[in-house]
């Protein structure tokens, strides 16, 4: 693959991490993420898997070292394993890592194929292990099915990290027990502050829990030491002393990490967003379909010039920071 100049934005940040939403559809309806009644994109508006691969490969040629496949729920996309296999061939040949974020609902049936394609690590969204609360948060999910998928992925050779959104009044009393469970099962845990993205059916202010309070509680229960691990994303890491279990914190509101942002996001309809909290965008699908691969480099350079210095998240604002849902941009 022909090399080209690395992607560097106008604030001097090198962009090395691409998140790709392969679908806006999901088989769950988490309350902080989606409305109960969602309107999804028609098939004609969505990038084909071949188009996703072509765009991703141009990003790799421009210095992207890590790709994460997201959704919606990526494993509901038909034939997504073909994309995983194609991108997995670049691991060790320009790409350092190919990973995925999934809700785990279909993970048991796909875990072996993901490992065969070159994945070594995966994130699973799991906000509670309580069956009734899980069914409430997701509106209809079965937590036993998700936990079964987590164990299948671990046993297939994937290092599994649990992503847990801290929700005041719902799962805030379970974060310590989740970390203890992760320690016992050989998993990692990342706790995330809820973000004001998309119009939902609830008031996010009522559910927002700052991670400063979460850490105070966890330090009282676990011997946490700082860890130098860097996953390539925004999390800051600790480790339970004497174990391999890491605790990550992603705090976009109480601990802004924009100064070191190295990420851009490609939506399932081929729109490139350079910031999760802004609407600046470049339509790579139209450029690819009109000009072919040759048109992508100029578009990527243009996107670098417009990447904002920081997001404007405000959990107490009367309207979300952006009206597109996380499932559209890529979780």
DSSP state of 294: G
165: left (phi over 0), alpha (psi -120 to 50) or beta: beta
| Coil/strand/helix, residue 297 | helix
| Residue 195 among known ligand-binding residues | yes
DSSP per residue, 96-124: SEEEEEE-STTHHHHHHHHHHTT--EEEE
Is 285 annotated among the ligand-binding residues? no
- How far is the C-alpha of 278 from the C-alpha of 313, rounded, in Å? 9
3 is in an annotated binding site: no
Cα(256)–Cα(206) distance, integer angstroms: 21
Return the closest-CA partner of residue 244 out of 284, 290, 187, 170: 187
Query: Is 88 known as a binding-site position?
Result: no
Contact 87, 56 (CB under 8 A): yes
The CA-based angle 131-192-323, given to 5 degrees, is 95
Q: Is 62 annotated as a binding residue?
A: no
Tell me whether residue 182 is annotated as binding: no
Residue 286's CB: how many other CB atoms inside 10 A? 13
Is 270 known as a binding-site position?
no
Determine whether the annotation assigns residue 263 to a binding site.
Answer: yes
Four-point Cα dihedral 199, 201, 202, 204, nearest 10? -20
For residue 258, say whether it is annotated as part of any ligand binding site: yes
Cα dihedral: 277, 208, 72, 173 (round 10): 150
According to the annotation, is 101 in a ligand binding site? yes
Name the strand (E) or helix (H) holding 19: strand 17-21
Residue list, annotated binding site for S-adenosyl-L-methionine:
32, 72, 125, 195
Q: Which residues are annotated as a binding site for GTP?
A: 19, 68, 101, 161, 263-265
Q: Where is the binding site, in residues?
A: 19, 26, 30, 32-33, 68, 72, 101, 125, 161, 195, 258, 261, 263-265, 275
Residue stretches of the annotated binding site for [4Fe-4S] cluster: 26, 30, 33, 258, 261, 275
């Amino acid at each position: 693959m022909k090399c080209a100049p690395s992607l560097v934005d106008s604030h001097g940040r090198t962009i090395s991490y691409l998140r790709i939403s392969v679908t806006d559809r999901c088989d769950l309806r988490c309350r902080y993420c989606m409305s109960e009644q969602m309107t999804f994109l028609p098939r004609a508006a969505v990038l084909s898997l071949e188009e996703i691969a072509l765009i991703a490969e141009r990003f790799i040629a421009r210095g992207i070292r890590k790709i994460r496949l997201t959704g919606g729920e990526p494993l509901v996309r038909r034939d997504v394993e073909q994309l995983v296999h194609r991108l997995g061939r670049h691991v060790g040949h320009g790409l350092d890592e190919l990973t995925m974020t999934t809700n785990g609902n279909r993970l048991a049936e796909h875990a072996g194929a993901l490992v065969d394609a070159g994945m070594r690590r995966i994130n699973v969204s799991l906000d509670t292990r309580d069956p009734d609360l899980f069914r409430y948060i997701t509106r209809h999910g079965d937590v036993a099915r998700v936990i079964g998928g987590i164990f299948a992925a671990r046993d297939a050779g994937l290092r599994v990290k649990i992503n847990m959104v801290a929700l005041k009044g719902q799962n805030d009393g379970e974060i310590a027990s989740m970390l203890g469970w992760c320690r016992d099962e050989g998993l990692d845990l990342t706790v995330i502050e809820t973000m004001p993205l998309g119009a939902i059916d609830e008031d996010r202010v009522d559910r927002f829990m700052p991670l400063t309070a979460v850490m105070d509680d966890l330090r009282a229960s676990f011997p946490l030491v700082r860890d130098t691990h860097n996953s390539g994303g925004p999390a800051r890491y600790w480790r339970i002393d004497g174990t391999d279990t890491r605790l990550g914190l992603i705090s976009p509101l109480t601990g802004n990490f924009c100064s070191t942002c190295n990420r851009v996001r490609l939506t399932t309809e081929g729109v490139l967003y350079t910031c999760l909290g802004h609407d600046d965008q470049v339509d790579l699908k139209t450029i690819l379909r009109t000009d072919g691969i040759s048109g992508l480099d100029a578009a990527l350079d243009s996107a670098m010039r417009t990447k904002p210095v920081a997001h404007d998240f405000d959990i107490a604002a009367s309207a979300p920071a952006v009206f597109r849902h996380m499932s559209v941009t890529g979780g």
